[in-house]
Amino acid sequence: MEKKIVRTPNAPAPIGPYNQAVLCGNMLFVSGQIPLHPTTGQMLTGDIKAQTALVMENIKAVLDTVGLDFSHVVKSTIFLTDMGQFPQVNEVYGGHFDHATAPARETVQVCALPKGANVEISVIAMA
């Protein structure tokens, strides 16, 4: 099975030795997205709901690149620096999925995220 690197200018460029996503067969592995603006590279701070919305927009941009959308997501992982913000993050995140067919997911609290982000989300999608 061949591995294809997926890149789009509509999501933030990687800040380390990784790619935005890797397509392997019919599985798309999207690297964790943080609330970085794709064109300016600036971190969105402040309201966690706005940060989560930008993270989801970044994920959508990567999915769009290979003709997929949130209905194709089968697994997601949410990383938070403050589990007290989970209800707000969950509200924004949940707005992108049909609850009856939402993906498997875990949410974990971590002590820190890249660039001082408060939320990071990664997904696996299937074509």
- Tens digits of residue pLDDT in 35-57: 999 999 999 998 999 999 999 99
Q: The domain that contains 22 carries what CATH number?
A: 3.30.1330.40
| Owning domain of residue 29 | 3-126
Q: What is the pLDDT of residue 1?
A: 78
d(CA 23, CA 29): 6
In percent, the amount of the chain with pLDDT more than 90 equals 94
Q: What is the pLDDT of residue 15?
A: 87
**Residues 76-105, mean pLDDT to the nearest whole number:** 97
**Residues 70-85, mean pLDDT to the nearest whole number:** 98
d(CA 75, CA 54): 19
> Count of domains in the chain?
1
What pTM was estimated for this model as a whole?
Answer: 0.96
d(CA 127, CA 113): 29
